[in-house]
Chain A
Amino acid sequence: MASEWRERIEAFCCSPSGFLCGSNSDSFLSELLRELRDDRLSYGLKVLLLVPLCEHPFLLCSSESAGEETALDLMSVFLQCPPRSQQFRCHLLVALTSVLICSSCAGSRSRASLDFLDLLLQVAQDTSDHHGDSSPLCLRNTAAECLREMEASCPGLLSQRLELLGGLRQQETSRLHQAYAGLQVLVLRNAVLHLTKESGAGAAQLKALLGGPSCADQDVFQMDANDPAVQASLVLGPMGRVPTLPTGPDCKELRSVLSSLLEESYLLSPLCQAALLHRLIEVVAMAPGIPPAIFRAQLLRLLGTNQVALLHVTLLMKCAFTDSLFSAEDEAFLLKRLLVLSQHPVLSASERLFYMDCILHFPENRPISCGDSDEALPVLLTPQLASILLPTVLNDSATLLARLHLQALVFLEDGEEEGGGGLAYIYDLLGALLHMVDRGGSRDLVVTFFRAAFLFLLYFHHVERYSARLSQQLCQLYLQHPLLAPHILNLADRTQDHLPESDWAVGLLQGLQRAITGAPGGQLTLPDLSCHLKVLSRAAEEGNISPCSTLRFLSAVFTSSLLCSGGNWCLGNGVLGVCRRVLLHPSLDSLFGPLADVLLHLACNYGDSDIQDHARLYFSLLTTLSREKLSAVLQGAAEGQVKKRALSCVMAESEGLTNALSVHQTDRAVLRLMEAGPGPLQEADADEDVGDGAVQRYRSQFSQTGFASLVPLRYRLTLMEPHQPLFEQLFSIRLHFRLTDHHYHPLPDASVPLLHRQRPPPELTLTLQPRRPHPTTIRVGAIFTAKDGLTWHSDMPDLHVAFQQTFLPLPVPSTWSRASRVAVFEALWEEAESEAGVWAVSLFCCQLGEAHLKALLQTHFLPFLLSDSSLEDGFRVLWFLPPRSHVLLKISREDDATLFKMATDDRQLLPHINDYLLEVTSTAAIRQLGSEPEHRS
Chain B
Amino acid sequence: MSLRALWIISHEKGENASVRFSRRFATVEHRYKSLSGSSYVSVPEDRNFLQLLLTELGLSRSNKNFVAARDDCLYRPRSPAVELCLDGKKTLWPVLALSQGPLILACLPLVDIPSESRPPLASLLSVSQGLTLLAGLQAFLFSSGGKLDSEGLVARVAALPSLLLQICPLGTPLDIPLVGTPATPTGPTSAVNQKQPPWKTGLHRGRATVNVAVVETVRSMQFGDQSRQDLWDVYGTVTCKCEVEGVLPNVTVTLSLPHNGSPLQDILVHPCVTSLDLSILTASSLDNADGSAFSGPYKFPFSPPLEPFRLCSYTSQVPVPPILGSYQLKEEENSLRVNVSLKLHESVKNSFEFCEALLPFFNRNQMGNVDVKVSSGQVDVTKEKNRLIWALGQKFPKSREVTLEGKITFSGSSQGPSHPLCTGLTAYIELHLKVPDTTLSGCSVDQHSVQVYSSAKPKIITSRELQSKDYFIWNSTGPAPISSGQMMT
Contacts and interface: CB of A to CB of B under 8 A. Distances in A.
B175 A272 contact: yes
Interface in A860-892: none
Interface stretch (A24-32, A141-149, A676-684): A141-149
Interface in A433-480: 436, 439-447, 450-451, 453-455, 458
B254 to A, nearest CB: 16
B324 interface: no
Interface in A722-760: none
Interface stretch (A34-42, A131-139, A550-558, A711-719): A131-139
Query: Which residue among B24, B129, B195 has the maximum number of chain A CB atoms within 10 Å of its CB?
Result: B195
Interface in B148-191: 161-162, 165-166, 169-176, 185-188
Interface string B127-155: 11101110100000000000000000000
Interface string B201-234: 0000000000000000101000000000000010
B75 A454 contact: yes
B268 A306 contact: yes
Contacts of A57: 26
B195 A177 contact: yes
A178 B26 CA distance: 23
Interface residues of A, number: 147
Contacts of B273: 301, 304
A145 B78 contact: no
Interface in B271-330: 271, 273-278, 280-282, 284-287, 310, 312-313, 315
A346 B170 CA distance: 31
B121 A102 contact: no
Interface string B69-87: 0111111011110000000
A483 B273 CA distance: 56
B interface, over-half SS: loop
A350 interface: yes
B275 A402 contact: no
A179 B188 CA distance: 17
B4 to A, nearest CB: 11
Interface in A1-43: 13-18
B26 A58 contact: yes
Contact of A275 (B62, B129, B165, B200): B129
B389 to A, nearest CB: 23
Interface string A48-71: 000000111110000000000000
A490 B121 CA distance: 28
A870 to B, nearest CB: 63
A232 interface: yes
Interface stretch (B109-117, B371-379, B393-401): B109-117
B20 to A, nearest CB: 12
A401 B276 contact: no
A447 B34 contact: no
Interface stretch (B407-415, B439-447, B477-485): B477-485
* Dominant secondary structure at the A interface: helix
A118 B172 CA distance: 22
Given A271-B174, A373-B117, A454 B73 contact: yes
Interface in A159-187: 172-175, 177-179, 182
Given A58-B26, A345-B488, A350-B98, A394 B482 contact: yes
B30 interface: yes
Interface string B21-34: 01111110111001
Contacts of B46: 13-15
A41 to B, nearest CB: 17
B125 A316 contact: yes
Nearest to A431: B483
A802 interface: no
Contacts of A487: 66, 71, 73
Contact of B74 (A225, A237, A454): A454
B267 interface: yes
Interface stretch (B335-343, B345-353, B416-424, B455-463): B416-424
A297 to B, nearest CB: 9
6 contacts: A138-B165, A312-B125, A358-B122, A373-B117, A373-B118, A454-B73
A-B pairs, top 3 by smallest CB distance, nearest first, are A486-B66, A306-B268, A350-B80
Given A361-B123, A401-B78, 7 more contacts: A14-B47, A47-B161, A134-B187, A231-B112, A271-B174, A340-B285, A405-B75
